[in-house]
């Protein structure tokens, strides 16, 4: 993230608590990749965000379904779903109203084409309502291990992280947008943008939906984009996550997911003190170096693994320290597997264009001893805790 609230070119895990926290934090900056020749500005860019979600949030799970899951009924921590988000940017000026569609393979089971709702460049938005300054403190624990390392937790005063009204407005704007990972977007002052899902359409797909096959994107403001997705770049498999108490700590494990670049785990919770928010992350780096860039590729993933920001593809376990566990009232855990992206560019001599398919698989669950899917054999029953509520953003959360 950049110093001003949320930046779309970086991402962490999802969840309301996490979205609010990340929006307020100072800029974790990803490691600068090795310098490469600057590519020519494309005449069009097309981004596909393919997600597999397991546990909390799967299949459009709402608050009622989540509560049933907490109480032992309804969806389980192994329920999964798939979703797709599409974004086209083109620089041509059409003679009529902009229009675009993505013609899809049969495996997506959504008909023959998805309409991309298209509009010209933004003319600005109304100023948001004033948002009260956050209060409280943020406790950050990091690294895999049943005992927290030295210097933990890192303690941040939230009131000092949002120094002016401009950043508060940016935070409020971010809260109105969908959480989850950011999307790298080309700077194009006159670009026309087309998106799906839109309006009444939904991004949720059948659990067996597939991207494999031939695709084409046809519009009147960008060249025709033709590309093919092979099985190696289909939706990632669901991330099957297990968690069990290990004394006062939590032991996490998961089945490996094919074609991933790495993993990152994060747990968030209200603290047990007044106005406390607690974050634990598998990244061993300090908060300022733990962001994951939206355009993650093999080179940048290797750098982040070396810096212990990402867990390597062969990793299948991690532990939340006893100290972090003790500080959290009712933690929500999310583990994200970042997939190997697919990038396709247009033929030489034609108007340049680029297609980027980004894939991730996430698993989210509450960490409560005795919950369905929690293995209590590794430790005793945990004492129930009463969450106090964050009250970091009065009137909102």
For the stretch 6-44, pLDDT in tens is 333 344 443 344 444 444 444 454 444 444 444 445 589
Q: In what order do the strands lie in the sheet with 317-320?
A: 241-246, 249-254, 317-320
More confident residue, 76 or 219: 219
Task: State the DSSP H helix or E strand holding residue 67, giving kind and residue range, or none if neither.
Answer: helix 63-70
Q: Which residues pair with 44 in a beta bridge?
A: 90, 353
- DSSP annotation of 332 reads E
Q: What is the pLDDT of residue 16?
A: 40
- Residue 58 pLDDT grade (very low, low, confident, very high; cuts 50, 70, 90): confident
Is residue 110 scored above 90 in pLDDT?
yes
Q: Which residues pair with 385 in a beta bridge?
A: none
- Residue 200 pLDDT grade (very low, low, confident, very high; cuts 50, 70, 90): low
How many CB atoms sit inside 10 A of residue 121's CB? 11
**∠ at Cα 31 (25, 33), nearest 5°?**
145
Is residue 232 scored above 50 in pLDDT?
yes
Is residue 23 within 8 Å of residue 171, measured between CB atoms? yes
Q: What is the pLDDT of residue 135?
A: 82
Is residue 114 within 8 Å of residue 101, measured between CB atoms? yes
Is residue 237 within 8 Å of residue 360, measured between CB atoms? no
pLDDT tens by residue, 315-348: 999 999 999 999 999 999 999 999 999 999 999 8
Q: Which residues pair with 10 in a beta bridge?
A: 293
- Written as six digits, the tokens of 230 are 């092979």
Q: What is the pLDDT of residue 60?
A: 55
The CA-to-CA distance between both ends of the chain, in Å, stands at 22
Q: What distance in Å separates the CA atoms of residue 299 and residue 109, rounded to the nearest whole number? A: 34
Is residue 169 scored above 70 in pLDDT?
no
Q: Which residues pair with 280 in a beta bridge?
A: 141, 267
Q: What is the pLDDT of residue 285?
A: 87
Stated length of the chain: 397
**Model pTM score:** 0.77
Phi, psi of 316 (to 5 degrees): -135, 10
**∠ at Cα 127 (124, 130), nearest 5°?**
160
């Amino acid at each position: 993230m950049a110093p001003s609230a949320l930046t779309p070119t970086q991402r962490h895990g999802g969840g309301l608590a996490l979205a609010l926290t990340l929006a307020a934090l100072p800029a974790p900056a990803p490691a600068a990749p090795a310098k490469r020749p600057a590519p020519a500005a494309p005449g069009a860019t097309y981004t596909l965000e393919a997600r597999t979600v397991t546990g909390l949030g799967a299949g459009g799970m709402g608050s009622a379904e989540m509560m049933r899951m907490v109480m032992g009924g309804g969806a389980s921590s192994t329920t999964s779903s798939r979703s797709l988000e599409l974004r086209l940017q083109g620089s041509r000026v059409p003679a009529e109203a902009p229009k675009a569609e993505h013609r899809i393979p049969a495996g997506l089971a959504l008909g023959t084409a998805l309409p991309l709702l298209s509009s010209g460049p933004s003319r600005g938005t109304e100023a948001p309502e004033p948002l009260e300054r956050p209060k409280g403190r943020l406790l950050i624990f990091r690294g895999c291990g049943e005992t927290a390392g030295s210097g933990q937790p890192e303690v941040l005063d939230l009131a000092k992280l949002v120094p002016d009204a401009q950043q508060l407005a940016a935070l409020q704007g971010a809260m109105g947008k969908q959480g989850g990972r950011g999307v790298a977007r080309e700077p194009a002052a006159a670009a026309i943008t087309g998106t799906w899902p839109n309006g009444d359409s939904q991004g949720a797909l059948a659990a067996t939906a597939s991207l494999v096959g031939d695709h084409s994107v046809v519009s009147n403001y960008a060249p025709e984009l033709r590309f093919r997705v092979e099985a190696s770049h289909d939706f990632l498999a669901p991330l099957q996550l297990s968690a069990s108490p290990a004394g006062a700590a939590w032991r996490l494990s998961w089945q490996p997911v094919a074609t991933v670049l790495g993993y990152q785990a994060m747990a968030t919770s209200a603290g047990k003190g007044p106005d406390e928010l607690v974050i634990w992350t598998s990244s061993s780096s300090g908060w300022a170096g733990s962001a994951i860039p939206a355009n993650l590729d093999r080179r940048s993933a290797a750098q982040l693994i070396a810096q212990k920001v990402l867990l390597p593809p062969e990793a299948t376990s991690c532990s939340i320290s006893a100290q972090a566990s003790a500080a959290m009232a009712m933690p929500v855990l999310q583990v994200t597997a970042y997939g190997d992206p697919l990038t396709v560019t247009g033929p030489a001599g034609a108007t340049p264009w680029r297609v980027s398919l980004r894939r991730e698989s996430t698993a989210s669950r509450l960490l409560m001893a005795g919950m369905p899917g929690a293995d209590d054999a590794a430790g005793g029953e945990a004492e129930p805790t009463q969450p106090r509520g964050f009250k970091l953003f009065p009137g909102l959360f």
